[in-house]
Chain A
Amino acid sequence: MITKRIIPCLDVRNGRVVKGVNFEGIQDVASPVELAHFYNDSGADELVFYDITASFEGRALFTDALTQVASEIFIPLTVGGGINTLDDFDRVLKCGADKVSVNSGAIKDPSLIEKAAKKYGDQCVVLSMDIKRVDGSFHIFSKGGRIDTGIDALEWAKMGENNGAGELVVNSIDTDGVKKGFDLEMLQKISDLVSIPVIASGGAGKKEDFLELFRAGCADAGLAASIFHFKEVDIMDLKRYLNENNIEMRI
């Protein structure tokens, strides 16, 4: 049977990995290549690179860094950030990305999912969603979680699947950064609705949070950034712990 996956997410700005809390106090931490090697050696099942650069020059630095990572690290790589067109898909796939994650780009142009899935295959298209509770329902937020689009998250998830997204990244704004565990209520609602893999994001603070996530059966993978970057949780330790608790992991 396939294992559950542990995925560290690396935010890259101008070709460097940065970390910050809620987009504030962003610090330069490492070269993407160094950090990718570190995570590869410590048992990450996949890597996600998120390009938070705004400038054209920054984009070029990002693709350089991605190309270097892809030529040295041989596990699946997902790239997101600034993906608005098929040309953007093309640009990062040529640098060695295996999957491309769309978020605001799909909100601006929902047909992007279908066009990309037809051209590159469903397995290549990841729909990433930033979700927050608003008046008792779940809404899709855009622009890094700042703007309420008013779109119902459950309908959006289903639309993504129907149009050919191969995976969903479900990021809960409500639990993000709180470190009290994943948003199981929301994840359960989405995973009950779709049959494509769901990657849970937002809220992991300790090993037990991942166990709770996988025991609840509402996600195929757990994604986190700061707890791995700050070495609060070691990926290999986490995977051994999950394995001892009967969650199959690639050790």
Chain B
Amino acid sequence: MIAIIDYGCGNLFSLSSSLRSLGIECKITGDKDEIASADRIILPGVGAFGDAAQKLRDCGMVELIRKLADESKPILGICLGMQLLFERSFEYGAHVGLGLIKGYVGPLEGQIPENLKIPHMGWNKLNLAKSDPIFKYIEQGDYMYFVHSFYAKGCVENTLAFAEYGVAVPAIVKSGSVYGMQFHPEKSGAKGLALLKAFAEL
């Protein structure tokens, strides 16, 4: 069973529907025992980093997620959920993240040519930089759906796949059993579902 952590951040309807369509059992839950006993964890998230990090702390999830990562439980952060895995974020101020992956989060603004629009929104190609079991069902150059204005930096060694958008945007990152995806696999058609299927089989 996959536990989708419910901490009041984001619409989890598509994510749970996409897992169910794959025949994968999942539950949206904020219950710590349920999360601790799940086989795998997904940390979703949309909105602002500072808010979301505070909500995670308020509901006592930070310690639990760190503990589960220590136990090598597969954890997947999606979009803002991926950014929360890093040490810090500089999205409107400075904020502390979960620190499960080395690196930080900064704005695309000022880092990409002016003719490129922010947010980075739409279908972009994955450039697979390493081999990993998460790529079991996808190929070099498959497209995923991105929506974000901030991106991960200082994490080259932990980056499995990039997307090119004026800069090399880390699209899939990994440290131990912890994965992060900057795009929305649950909105990326058949290829996105293929990544979720691979995660469920890790």
On A, residues with C-beta under 8 Å from B are 1-3, 5, 40, 45, 70-72, 74-76, 93-96, 98, 121-123, 166-167, 195-197, 220, 250
A to B CB contacts below 8 Å, 11 in the list = A1-B124, A2-B123, A70-B14, A71-B17, A71-B20, A74-B192, A76-B187, A96-B11, A98-B14, A123-B119, A250-B123
Closest 4 CB pairs of A and B: A2-B122, A71-B17, A250-B143, A250-B123
Q: A74-B190, A94-B11, A250-B123 are in contact. List 10 more A-B contacts (CB 8 A).
A: A2-B120, A3-B122, A45-B123, A70-B17, A74-B14, A74-B18, A123-B147, A195-B117, A197-B121, A197-B122
Min Cβ gap A57→B in Å is 23
Residues of B within 8 A of A121 (CB): 46-47
Residues of A within 8 A of B145 (CB): 75-76
Closest to A221 in B: B122
Residues of B within 8 A of A220 (CB): 117, 122
Please state if A196 and B14 are interface contacts (CB–CB under 8 Å).
no
Q: Give the most central of A40, A70, A75, A121: most B CB within 10 Å.
A: A75
**Contact code string B158-176 (vs A, CB < 8 Å = 1, else 0):** 0000001100000000000
CB within 8 Å for A1 and B143 given contacts A94-B13, A166-B119: no
Please state if B187 and A98 are interface contacts (CB–CB under 8 Å).
yes
Min Cβ gap A13→B in Å is 24
Please state if B120 and A75 are interface contacts (CB–CB under 8 Å).
no
State the majority secondary structure of interface residues on B.
Answer: mixed
A98 to B193, CA, bound (A): 17
For this complex, into which size category does the number of interface residues on chain B fall? 20 to 34
B21 is an interface residue with CB less than 8 A from chain A: yes
A123 to B46, CA, bound (A): 11
A3 to B189, CA, bound (A): 15
CB within 8 Å for A5 and B18 given contacts A70-B13, A74-B188, A196-B117: no
CB within 8 Å for A3 and B143 given contacts A45-B123, A74-B186, A74-B187: yes
B7 is an interface residue with CB less than 8 A from chain A: no
A3 to B188, CA, bound (A): 13
CB within 8 Å for A1 and B164 given contacts A72-B21, A74-B186, A76-B145: yes
Closest to B193 in A: A74
Closest to A44 in B: B189
Q: Give the most central of B14, B125, B164: most A CB within 10 Å.
A: B14
Residues of B within 8 A of A123 (CB): 119, 121, 147
**Contact code string B17-53 (vs A, CB < 8 Å = 1, else 0):** 1101100000000000000000000000011000000
**Contact code string B107-125 (vs A, CB < 8 Å = 1, else 0):** 0000000000111111111
Please state if A75 and B187 are interface contacts (CB–CB under 8 Å).
yes
Please state if A2 and B17 are interface contacts (CB–CB under 8 Å).
no
Residues of A within 8 A of B18 (CB): 74
Please state if A5 and B13 are interface contacts (CB–CB under 8 Å).
no
A71 to B14, CA, bound (A): 6
Q: Give the most central of B11, B47, B146, B186: most A CB within 10 Å.
A: B11
A239 to B186, CA, bound (A): 22
Residues of B within 8 A of A45 (CB): 122-123
Q: Give the most central of A2, A40, A70: most B CB within 10 Å.
A: A2
Closest to A251 in B: B143
Min Cβ gap A218→B in Å is 13
A122 to B120, CA, bound (A): 12
